[in-house]
A = this chain, B = another copy of it.
Amino acid sequence: MVAKTPASPAFSRLLTLREQPLTYPKSLVELAYEQLLSMLVTMKIAPGAHIGIEALSRDLQISPTPIREALTLLEAQKLAYKIPNVGFRAADLLTGPEIDDLFEMRLLIEPKAAAFAALRSSQEHFDALTILSDNMARVAGGEETDYAQFAEGDARLHHLVAQASGNRFVAQTVEGLHVHLHIFRFLFRTNAPEQALQEHAAIVRALLARDADAAEGAMRDHLEASRQRMARALARHDVATPDREGSTPRRIDSSERCP
C-alpha cells in the first residue's frame, strides 16, 4: 500500500487538547457511525446499495475494523443488513405498506406516551419541550424554511415527548422508529411546516396543561395528519416516476457502489 496520508495514528493526541476537556475525543467507531448515518440519511449511499468496507476505509481514512463495528451498529438499527461473507448493504427503501405499518406502530405508542407524559413528566422535560417548540416556530417562521432543520426538530420533539413519558422502553422504541423516517423526509420535502407546527403546538399545550386526554388526542391527530401527508407525497412521487411494478414505490435495487 502506498503512503497516502499519515491518516489516523497519533492524531487523537491533537484532539485531546481542544475546547471541551469533558467531551471525549470520539472513538473512531463513533466517527464512522456518524458519517455512515449521515450518508445513509442523505442518500449519499443509495438504499440497497452495497457498502464496501475497504472503499469506506479509504474515503474516511479509517481502518476497516472500526468501520465494521459501526456497520454492525447500523445493522442492529435495521438501517443496514449483512450477508455473511458477502458484505453489508444499505437497507431497502421502505415500501408504501411498510410506511403505513410504521405509522400504525407509532399510533399504538406515541399517543399513549403523550398521555403518560402529561401525567408524569418532569418540569425539565417540559422546559426543553417549550424551548424546542419555540425554536421550531422561529425557524418555520423565517422566509426560507430549512426542511432538514425542521425535520430534525420534529424528531427531537417526538423523542422528547417519549422521554417525558418516563418509560424508558417507550422512549427507546420511538427513537428507533424515527430513524427510518429520516430517509423519506429527505426524499419528499413533505411535512408542511405550518400545519405540523400547529399540531405540535396543540400537543405541547395539552402537555403543559397536564391534560392527558387532550395530549393523547393531539398526538393522535398529528400522527394521522402526518400519515396522510406522507401518503399524498408518496402518491405524487408514484405519479412523477411511474414504474412497472404498480403503485408500490419502486425498490431501488441498485448494484451501484457508495461513493
Q: Is A169 an interface residue (CB 8 A)?
A: yes
Residues of B within 8 A of A124 (CB): none
Q: Using CB atoms, name the residue of chain B closest to A78.
A: B172
Are A167 and B76 closer than 8 Å at their CB atoms? no
A77 to B78, CA, bound (A): 12
Partner-contacting stretch, out of A96-104, A125-133, A193-201, A207-215: A96-104
Tell whether A11 is near chain B: CB-to-CB under 8 Å: no
By the criterion CB–CB under 8 Å, are B24 and A84 in contact? yes
- Whether A227 sits at the interface, judged by CB under 8 Å, is no
Bound-state Cα–Cα, A177 to B109, Å = 14
When C-beta atoms are compared, the residue in chain B nearest to A65 turns out to be: B65
Which of chain A's residues 91-118 have a Cβ closer than 8 Å to chain B?
98, 101-102, 104-105, 108-109, 112
Q: How far is the CB of A90 from chain B (nearest CB, A)?
A: 17
Q: Which residues of B contact A43 (CB under 8 A)?
A: none
Q: Is the CB of A173 within 8 A of B76?
A: no
Cβ-closest chain B residue relative to A166? B101
Q: Is A68 an interface residue (CB 8 A)?
A: yes
Any chain B CB within 8 A of the CB of A73?
yes
CB of A101 within 8 A of CB of B168, answer: yes
| A69 interfacial by beta-carbon distance below 8 Å | yes
Interface residues of A in 160-188 (CB under 8 A from B): 166-170, 172-173, 176-177
CB of A187 to closest CB in B, whole Å = 19
Give CA–CA (A109, B109) in the complex, Å: 7
> Is the pair B112, A108 in contact by a Cβ cutoff of 8 Å?
yes
Nearest chain B CB to A251's CB is how many angstroms away?
Answer: 15
Contact with B along A61-77 (1 / 0, CB 8 A): 00001001100110011
C-alpha spacing A168/B168, complex, angstroms: 21
Supplied contacts A105-B109, A105-B167, 7 more A-B pairs, CB within 8 Å: A72-B72, A73-B76, A78-B172, A101-B167, A101-B168, A104-B169, A173-B176
Q: A-side interface residues toward B, CB under 8 Å?
A: 24, 27, 65, 68-69, 72-73, 76-78, 84-85, 98, 101-102, 104-105, 108-109, 112, 166-170, 172-173, 176-177
Q: List 20 A-B contacts (CB under 8 A).
A: A24-B84, A24-B85, A27-B84, A65-B65, A68-B69, A72-B72, A72-B76, A76-B76, A78-B172, A101-B167, A101-B169, A101-B170, A102-B169, A104-B167, A104-B169, A105-B167, A108-B108, A108-B109, A169-B177, A173-B173
